[in-house]
Amino acid sequence: MINKYALPAAVAVLILTCSAALSSDPKEITVFTAASLTGAFNEIGGIYENETGIHVTFNFDGSQALRTQIENGAYADVFASANKKQMNALKSGGLMNNSSIAIFAKNKISLIVPKDNPAKISNLSDLAKPGTKIVMGTKDVPVGDYALQIIDKLGNDSSYGKDYKEKVLSNVISQETTVNYVVTKVALGEADVGFAYVSDVTEDLASKVDKIDIPDEYNIIAEYPMGMLLESKYPTESMDFMNLVMSEEGSAILEKYGFSPVKSKPEPTANGATAANATAPAAGATA
């Protein structure tokens, strides 16, 4: 088992004393991952598999859907969420190894429009124009929650008009359960504009959609926490995967896909972690 990716001290995973017996010769680990991380985590997963011989089975979906699946008994070794709300819900339910949880990346929201931009969307004011077809996430999916917060901020700015929020929301034609569906509808021209992550405008989509930046005073910084499930049968191997995500190599991949990696000073560990109380929160763990 490799151990080249040392876990930062603030996110050291505390493994149960029985982990050695449980983790003998695993063939795969299961990672539940926010849909916006699809490209980056697929690439990181390929590196992990090449270097360990252990396959990573990904479940990409909206963070709220992944949380519900875990709460209903679905097995996962690692959970990576697009916001802290869903992670905190699993923590409150006693399902996470709290000491393993850390913010590993940040992201921003942007508007995306079809390449030909038939509605001539050029700024935030255009969202309130009658007949503009807007697509966004549901209020429960992180990208939808972030979009609603942005619309609230704009609605509270008198320069956009007192009816701005009402007009924008009346133009929403669809609310999707993952950001991938939002991007697809805009790319296919089924909507004039959508709320997505900056990281969603990848090289593959650059020929189909354009991005319109949202000024920082109205934008939301999305924080991505990751952690290990208490029920993980392979805590050492799961920790090695998380180490890879937060390593220099993993951070470079996240950055390539438009994320802002959260870097910490690495601290070498033996066999991935030390055995201790698996539920005690470590310094620096997310709230």
- DSSP string computed for 71-103: HTT---SEEE-SSHHHHHHHHHTT-B-GGG-EE
Check residue 203 and give its pLDDT: 78
Assess contact for 116 and 155: CB atoms under 8 A. Answer: no
Between 25-29, 146-150, 264-268, the lowest mean confidence (pLDDT) is in 264-268
pLDDT band at residue 264 using 50, 70 and 90 as cut-offs: low
CA angle 150, 153, 155 (to 5 degrees): 110
Between 91-105, 166-180, 200-214, 229-243, the lowest mean confidence (pLDDT) is in 200-214
Assess contact for 99 and 105: CB atoms under 8 A. Answer: no
Is the confidence at residue 23, as pLDDT, over 80? no
The model's pTM is 0.79
Q: What percent of the chain has pLDDT over 70?
A: 83
Check residue 6 and give its pLDDT: 52
Check residue 88 and give its pLDDT: 97
Is the confidence at residue 64, as pLDDT, over 90? yes
What is the average pLDDT value for the chain, to the nearest integer?
A: 86
> Which residue, among 188, 259, 226, has the nearest Cα to 40 in the 3D structure?
259
**CA–CA dist 135, 88 (Å, integer):** 27
**What is the CATH number assigned to the segment(s) 107-213?**
3.40.190.10
Domains 9-106+223-275 and 107-213 share a fold: yes
Check residue 205 and give its pLDDT: 81
- What letter would DSSP give residue 33? E
Q: What is the rounded average pLDDT of the residues 248-255? A: 96
Is the confidence at residue 21, as pLDDT, over 70? no
**CA–CA dist 274, 9 (Å, integer):** 12
Q: Where along the chain do its domains lie?
A: 9-106+223-275, 107-213
**What is the CATH number assigned to the segment(s) 9-106+223-275?**
3.40.190.10
Q: What is the rounded average pLDDT of the residues 220-238? A: 96
Check residue 164 and give its pLDDT: 97
Model confidence pLDDT, tens digit, residues 87-103: 999 999 999 999 999 99
